[in-house]
């Protein structure tokens, strides 16, 4: 249990700081909070990436890959 707590604390990039879990019940609660934070951050970032990936189709940005490719060939 202790190794799982420290591994998740490290992977969640929270760090150990001045306050840390001492008992097993505190570690279980801390692990649940860490997983909730990681899940929330993942949800927010997935929505952000979806907005960015759909930006071209929604805004009608022209595709200039052919022009760029021709420019690179001319170099």
* pLDDT attached to residue 51: 87
Report pLDDT digits (tens) over 53-69: 887 777 776 778 888 88
* pLDDT attached to residue 25: 92
Per-residue CA distances from 70 to 61, 63, 74 (Å): 19, 13, 6
Report pLDDT digits (tens) over 5-26: 888 888 787 766 767 788 999 8
Confidence tier at 39 by pLDDT (50, 70, 90): very high
> Do the Cβ atoms of 9 and 15 come closer than 8 Å?
yes
> Do the Cβ atoms of 30 and 5 come closer than 8 Å?
yes
How is the chain split into domains, by residue range?
A: 2-74
CA distance 62 to 60: 6
């Amino acid at each position: 249990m202790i190794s799982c707590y420290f591994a998740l604390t490290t992977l969640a990039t929270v760090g150990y700081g001045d306050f840390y879990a001492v008992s097993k019940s505190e570690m279980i609660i801390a692990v649940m909070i860490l997983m909730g934070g990681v899940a929330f951050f993942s949800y927010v970032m997935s929505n952000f990436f979806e907005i960015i990936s759909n930006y071209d189709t929604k805004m009608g940005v022209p595709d200039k890959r052919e022009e760029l490719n021709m420019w690179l060939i001319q170099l």
